[in-house]
């Protein structure tokens, strides 16, 4: 099997398993317990927090561990927006709006919509261009004194487009608005230094970079007030209640450190392989439409639309030939609706329904991709042959 669905998930790295194993076995203590076993677990947790903070270039106290990217996004969007209300000084406008790009992950979009539904906030969706990018001037046209938060993802999970985050942050900050970015897909491939990016909050998830599913982290600048989403025992400095997942935190920290150390070399290698793959696919299927930005995209992302055929049919034919990929976000699996990302980019619904996404894992080889391209050519021919009957 040739696995080309790395944006959905990947295997746990052996180094990560080895690092987390002691906290699943002998060092199984509760980090909130006031005895020796608890203290050792707490030491492991705080060491992991410091390691994540080192990669992000922030203070350990600005890192909150979560159950994954979805919870991190929920905590950022809801927590910061509501925190802005809590921290509002008398005489200033009530922060009752949030601005999000039209191509955000559902974890961000639905969090914003929950703020509207439950707290009376307004949601401003910032449009993207045909490549999936948000123009700084488009964001500047939306933000206003009442905006509590801007959230624009670092890199898109469906088409791989990378946003001009620094310029977008400048547009938000010019209006005095904090900026969150979902960096779940960017981790391991793009720089995550939060001070250089200028972001006020950033989300990451473990299972995209070699840690297990079920752990993530959120950076939030210490100056911001963050209202918790989960109430309980007050763990994570009162920002995220629940017994701490020490093994998961250690796993995430280890995976993030390894990914950052390998990032530059791995990204250059993968981008070269991806470009050759895209070129070969276009030779085999000239009708294919490459979606996303042509250059500002994740190194392992190659997404296409195949007009006049069913994307799901192409996927089935590919899997019969030993190639596994997807039609878009795994979080939207089972939906018959066309991708909201592609629609926001101006792609017609009937074309958007033909989408196929290839996302390359770090272990992929040129031979693998050569076979995958040939399999795609055969799959497309098979589907179009059936369509003509």
CA distance 184 to 182: 6
pLDDT at residue number 389:
45
pLDDT at residue number 385:
78
pLDDT digits (tens, 9 = 90+) for 251-306: 999 999 999 999 999 999 999 999 999 999 999 999 999 999 999 999 999 999 99
Residue 386 has pLDDT above 60, yes or no: no
2-6+263-388 and 14-258 agree in CATH topology: no
pLDDT at residue number 387:
46
Phi, psi of 123, deg, nearest 5: -110, 120
pLDDT at residue number 92:
81
pLDDT at residue number 93:
84
Residues above pLDDT 90, as percent of the chain: 91
Domain coordinates of the chain in residue numbers? 2-6+263-388, 14-258
Active site residue 58: no
Q: If you average pLDDT over residues 6-17, what whole number do you get?
A: 98
Could you please state the CATH topology (level 3) that the domain comprising 2-6+263-388 is classified under: 3.90.1150
Q: If you average pLDDT over residues 63-76, what whole number do you get?
A: 98
Contact 52, 220 (CB under 8 A): no
pLDDT digits (tens, 9 = 90+) for 215-230: 999 999 999 999 999 9
Closest CA to 148 of 129, 167, 128, 120: 120
Coil, helix or strand at residue 377: helix
pLDDT digits (tens, 9 = 90+) for 175-209: 999 999 999 999 999 999 999 999 999 999 999 99
pLDDT digits (tens, 9 = 90+) for 338-354: 999 999 999 999 999 99
- How many C-beta neighbours within 10 Å does residue 87 have? 15
Across the chain, what does the average pLDDT equal?
95
pLDDT digits (tens, 9 = 90+) for 119-149: 999 999 999 999 999 999 999 999 999 999 9
Stated as kind and residue range, the H or E segment containing 209 is: none
Residue 7 has pLDDT above 60, yes or no: yes
Q: Which CATH class is domain 14-258?
A: alpha beta
Kindly name the residue from 58, 305, 325, 331 that is annotated as catalytic.
331
Residue 375 has pLDDT above 80, yes or no: yes
pLDDT digits (tens, 9 = 90+) for 28-45: 999 988 999 999 999 999
- How many C-beta neighbours within 10 Å does residue 263 have? 18
């Amino acid at each position: 099997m040739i696995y080309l669905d790395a944006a959905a998930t990947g295997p746990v790295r052996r180094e990560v398993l080895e690092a987390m194993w002691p906290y699943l076995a002998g060092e199984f203590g509760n980090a909130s317990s006031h005895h020796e076993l608890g203290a050792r677990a707490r030491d492991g947790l705080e060491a992991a927090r410091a390691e994540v903070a080192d990669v992000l270039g922030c203070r350990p106290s600005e890192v909150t561990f979560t159950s994954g990217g979805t919870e991190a996004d929920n905590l950022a969007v809801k927590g910061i927006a509501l925190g802005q209300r809590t921290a509002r000084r008398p005489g200033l406008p009530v922060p009752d709006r949030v601005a999000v790009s039209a191509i955000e992950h559902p974890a961000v979009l639905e969090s914003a919509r929950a703020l509207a539904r439950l707290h009376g906030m307004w949601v401003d969706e910032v449009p993207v261009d045909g490549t999936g990018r948000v123009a700084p001037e488009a964001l500047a046209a939306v933000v206003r004194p009442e905006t509590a938060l801007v959230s624009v993802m670092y890199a898109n999970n469906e088409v791989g487009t990378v946003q001009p985050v620094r310029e977008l942050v400048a547009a938000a900050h010019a209006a005095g608005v904090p900026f969150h970015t979902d960096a779940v897909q960017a981790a391991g491939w793009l720089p995550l230094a939060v001070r250089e990016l200028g972001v006020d909050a950033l989300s990451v998830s473990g299972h995209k970079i070699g840690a297990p599913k079920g752990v993530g982290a959120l950076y939030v600048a210490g100056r911001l007030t963050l209202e918790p989403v989960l109430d309980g025992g007050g763990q994570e400095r009162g920002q995220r209640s629940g017994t701490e997942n020490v093994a998961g935190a250690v796993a995430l920290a280890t995976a993030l450190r390894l990914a950052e150390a390998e990032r530059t070399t791995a990204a250059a290698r993968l981008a070269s392989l991806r470009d050759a793959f895209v070129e070969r696919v276009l030779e085999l299927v000239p009708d294919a439409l490459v979606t996303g930005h042509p250059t500002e995209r994740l190194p392992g992302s190659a997404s296409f639309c195949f007009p006049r055929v069913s994307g799901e049919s192409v996927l089935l034919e590919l899997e019969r030939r030993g190639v596994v990929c997807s039609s878009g976000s795994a979080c939207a699996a089972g939906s018959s609706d066309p991708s909201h990302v592609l629609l926001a980019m101006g792609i017609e619904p009937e074309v958007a329904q033909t989408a196929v996404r290839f996302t390359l894992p770090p272990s992929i080889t040129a031979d693998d991709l050569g076979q995958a391209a040939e399999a795609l050519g055969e799959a497309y021919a098979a589907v179009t042959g059936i369509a003509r009957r």
